[in-house]
């Protein structure tokens, strides 16, 4: 999901070993100053000298979504094997899911048992500042010149703004190369073949047209499975409605990305803005019309994908863009969906 998904999503990566950061450089590990060599001398590094830098094996615990299934194939992964042998490192998977990662990571932080590398929506939250102040996470080196790829990655205005006291305390994750792509993060897939069978001749471009199409599909009961209209996950589905009148109320799904707006001389959470009223009325209208999956608040994992792919829902809201959504649906349905699914960005006229 992970569409209209996120504005810039930030993930917190714990800084593991200072030695591992300096190991890939010719700079002195003690001073951080680049070593110099007279211009008339030729410096060579013997294979034994290179190997001696990584003579001590390192195990790094890694908590990322589906990391266990990924590392289960590490023996057949050429890149993993190359890095593992060159740096004498192994990765230990620590299981988390989209449903429990926040709770687990906060529990590990409180019990001083965080994995070496983990990902969580934390930057800009009280939790993040507490971790920094309490020393739960350590800063990255101020001088990242010897890590050229990382330095280039971080050299973006939106990422630079996440520094605390001039330093990074993690590596923010960019969902897309540019923030402009975030407008396409939330996507609605729907069964155009069902809509045509129900008498719809024009694909929807407005919220009213989409509602009308969903009502017709549900009433037509295609394939006799009594499908619901629109399904999705409780963290992401409402975002499609917020864009109707109050885009600033849209969340990245973490629950930790509240925006504030100034109205009548006071700063208030964007969700409490007067601009939210039309969206709330729209949501009530959609629910009362029966076009929204009543089980939506209870869905977890890939249950919404399974419901749509099995013909029990006429439409689905996904996060992560068109490609990710299409791949997940294709994997479950195992047929070519290009003729029966269309995507559109709805608009308010």
- pLDDT of 6 higher than 60: no
Q: Is residue 82 part of a domain?
A: yes
User: Residue 272 has what pLDDT?
Assistant: 92
In a domain, 46, yes or no: no
Based on the fold, state whether residues 12 and 91 are members of the same structural domain.
yes
Residue 289 tokens read as 């019309």
Instruction: Choose between 5 and 259: higher pLDDT.
Output: 259
CATH code, domain with 212: 3.40.190.10
Residue 330 pLDDT: 63
Q: Model's pTM, two decimal places?
A: 0.57
Q: Which pLDDT score, from 0 to 100, does residue 274 have?
A: 94
In a domain, 3, yes or no: no
Task: Specify the pLDDT at position 40.
Answer: 42
- The model's pLDDT over 125-158, given as tens digits with 9 standing for 90+, comes to 888 889 999 999 999 999 998 999 999 999 888 8
- Examine residue 133 and state whether it is found in any structural domain, yes or no: yes
Shared domain for 127 and 164, answered yes or no, is: yes
**Which is more confident, 331 or 115?**
115
- The 10s digit of each residue's pLDDT in 166-212 is 999 999 887 777 777 766 777 888 888 899 999 999 988 889 999 99
Angle at 42 between CA 40 and CA 46, to 5 degrees: 165
Q: At 34, is the pLDDT very low, low, confident or very high (cuts 50, 70, 90)? A: very low
CA distance 315 to 341: 9
- Residue 160 and residue 166: Cα distance in Å, rounded? 9
Q: Is 65 in the same domain as 83?
A: yes
CATH number at residue 63: 3.40.190
Together in a domain, 202 and 331: yes
Q: Bigger pLDDT: 322 or 52?
A: 52
- Tell me the pLDDT band of 92, cut-offs 50, 70 and 90: very high
Number of domains in the chain: 2
Shared-domain flag, residues 217 and 280: yes
Query: Of 126, 153, 182, which residue is a domain's last?
Result: 182
Comparing 123 with 16, the larger pLDDT belongs to 123
- The predicted pLDDT at position 214 comes to 93
Is residue 149 assigned to a domain? yes
Domain boundary among 149, 164, 182: 182
Same domain as 280, residue 269:
yes
**In this predicted model, which residue has the larger pLDDT, 12 or 66?**
66
Together in a domain, 302 and 162: no
CA–CA dist 135, 323 (Å, integer): 39
33 occurs within a structural domain = no
Q: Which pairs with CB-CB distance under 8 Å and at least 24 residues apart come from 289-293?
A: 289/211, 289/214, 289/215, 290/215, 290/218, 290/229, 291/211, 291/214, 291/215, 291/218, 291/228, 291/229, 291/230, 292/228, 292/229, 292/230, 293/228, 293/229, 293/230, 293/231, 293/232
Mean of per-residue pLDDT scores for the chain: 77
| Shared-domain flag, residues 142 and 212 | no
Cα–Cα–Cα angle for 135, 140, 143, nearest 5°? 140
Determine how many CB atoms are found less than 10 A away from the CB of residue 273: 19
Residues 224 and 255 in one domain: yes
Confidence of residue 251 (pLDDT cuts 50, 70, 90): confident
Instruction: Identify whether 43 is part of a domain.
Output: no
Largest CA distance in the chain: 84
Work out the average pLDDT over 253-260. 67
Residue 128 and residue 103 share a domain: yes
For residue 7, is pLDDT > 50?
no
Question: In this structure, are strands 266-269 and 260-263 parallel, antiparallel, or unpaired?
Answer: antiparallel
- Domain hosting residue 278, numbered range: 185-343
Same domain? For 170 and 317 the reply is no
Residues 194 and 226 reside in one and the same domain: yes
pLDDT of res. 211: 92
Domain boundary at 148, 163, 182, which? 182
User: pLDDT value at position 334?
Assistant: 52
Residue 94 covered by a domain: yes
């Amino acid at each position: 999901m992970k569409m209209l998904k996120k504005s810039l999503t930030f993930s917190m990566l714990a800084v593991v070993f200072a030695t591992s950061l300096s190991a890939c450089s010719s700079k002195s590990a003690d001073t951080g100053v680049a070593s110099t060599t007279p211009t008339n001398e030729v410096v060579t590094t013997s294979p034994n000298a290179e190997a001696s830098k990584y003579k001590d094996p390192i195990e790094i615990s890694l908590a990322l979504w589906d990391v266990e299934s990924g590392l289960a194939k590490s023996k057949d992964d050429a890149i993993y094997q190359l890095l593992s042998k060159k740096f004498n490192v192994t990765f230990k998977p620590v299981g988390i899911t989209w449903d429990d990662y926040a709770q687990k990571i906060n529990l590990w932080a409180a019990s001083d048992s965080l994995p070496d590398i983990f990902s969580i929506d934390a930057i800009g939250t009280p939790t993040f500042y507490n971790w920094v102040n309490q020393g739960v996470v350590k800063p990255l080196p101020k001088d990242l010149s010897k890590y050229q790829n990382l330095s280039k990655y971080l050299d973006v205005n939106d990422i630079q703004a996440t520094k605390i006291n001039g330093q990074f305390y993690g590596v923010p994750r960019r969902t897309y190369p540019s923030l402009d792509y975030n407008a396409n993060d939330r996507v609605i897939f729907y069964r155009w073949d069902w809509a045509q069978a129900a008498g719809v001749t024009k694909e929807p471009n407005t919220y009213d047209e989409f509602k009308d199409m969903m009502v017709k599909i549900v009433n037509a009961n295609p394939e006799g499975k009594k499908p619901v209209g629109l399904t999705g996950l409780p963290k992401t589905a409402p975002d499609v409605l917020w864009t109707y009148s109050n885009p600033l109320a849209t969340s990245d799904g973490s629950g930790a990305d509240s925006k504030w707006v100034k109205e009548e001389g006071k700063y208030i959470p964007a969700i409490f803005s007067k601009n939210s009223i039309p969206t709330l009325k729209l949501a009530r209208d959609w629910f009362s019309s029966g076009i929204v999956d009543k089980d939506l608040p209870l869905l977890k994992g890939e249950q919404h994908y399974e419901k749509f792919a099995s013909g029990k829902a006429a439409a689905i809201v996904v996060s992560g863009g068109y490609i990710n959504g299409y791949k997940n649906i294709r994997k479950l349905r195992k047929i070519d969906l290009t003729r029966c699914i269309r995507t559109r960005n709805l608009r308010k006229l």
